[in-house]
Amino acid sequence: MTRRVVVTGLGVVTSVGKQLEEFWSNLTAGKSGIKEIKSFSTESLDRHFGGEVSVADEVSLLSESESKIYGRATRFGIEATHNAVEDAGLNVHADEFRKKIGVVIGTTFGEAQIIEKITSIYCAQGISRVNSSAHLKQYNPNAISVNIGKKFKFSGPNMVIPTACAAGNYAIAYASMLIKSGAAPIMIAGGADPFSHVSFSGFRRLGVMANSMCQPFDKDREGMLVGEGAASLVLEDYEVARDRGAKMYAEIAGFGFSCDANHMTIPEVGGIMSVMKNALANAGLGIKDVDYICAHGTGTRINDKLESEAIRRIFYDSGNTVPVSSIKSMLGHTMGAASAIEAVASVMSIKTGLIPPTINFRTPDPECDIDCVPNTARKSNPRVVLNNSFAFGGNNCSVLFANVN
């Protein structure tokens, strides 16, 4: 497990951009992707805004038959993976090469829209109208990673990790372990989640959804907003990347896991502290080594309060007043894709020296007494970035990215 793992390619599909340059430019400019939802009716839900991906179905990479049967999560994942592979300069047309590449994707709801479609057809037309090939087979939770592997002929390790809102980080950490163990020299790792009635109405019912604006760490924050999208990172064995002359954005310095073992929807500060400490220990880094924290930062009252408390107790009380920001203020909460998209932001922060802002910040909250990089990006040149993610059920994962030495 001594192999080094580096990031050599990045791809995103988000409400602020589907190309890496556009995504990063808009993110550091503080541009919001929140708008009125068009893909389904929200009339009965009393909430109408989210981080919707524009022109989501126009993926030129797909054949006509693929476009008809693949759900949005798969389509997002394929597009993000294509962009990441292109960015990494991988020769995916060489059979011997692509046999070595694996895929690990995190998700919360998977192809929820497929099951919604099945239910609609069943209720309106009867079970005989449900197409077992075009509908049921595409709903399997592993469909996203399988379809990505099939599309690019990647026949290495392949799986979906469904650890809810921390799933993207889990996928990155697990893919790193596969590379470190020698199971695969190259992995595609990331997350994908689409809008669905299930997710939107579920979070509305929980009473944690804001009206039209997500305000992480602000005293007057109302809650989260639902988003959608995907991100893929190309992870490689350092020596493989070096030998093929690949550019290296950053190194996976370490990662940590924890479970609150407490409550399905309410995080616990001890679990949050544990996952950050575990990541530092795994990386062999100290508290003062971290230059920026890409926060989970959902905009809900309890999450922001407890994440802030954990950061203060670990970092601030030890003299490291590390800047912390939440890009969910611009994208909404993209569920299983969130920490994967935030991983891309973490890596780009190291590459460009910029920290993206927490927008919509107006009133400081004494319970969130951290430097949240309010409203404007900051030039900081971080060398080590901690990417936090906390999920329902208390499933937590933090990943540390570092400048490649």
Between CA 381 and CA 201 the distance in angstroms is: 40
Residue 340 host element (H or E): helix 338-352
Task: Count the Cβ atoms, other than its own, within 10 Å of residue 22.
Answer: 14
- The residues, ordered by sequence, that sit 6+ positions from 99 with a Cβ below 8 Å of its Cβ are 155, 156
What tokens appear for 12 in the block?
A: 């995103």
In this structure, the chain runs to a length of: 405
What distance separates the 2 farthest-apart alpha carbons in the chain?
A: 65
Between CA 176 and CA 169 the distance in angstroms is: 11
DSSP of 78-120: HHHHHHHHHHHT--TT-HHHHTTEEEEEE-SSSSHHHHHHHHH
Between CA 186 and CA 242 the distance in angstroms is: 13
CB 106 within 8 A of CB 160: yes
CB 255 within 8 A of CB 279: yes
Between CA 172 and CA 206 the distance in angstroms is: 29
The residues carrying an active-site annotation are 165, 296, 333
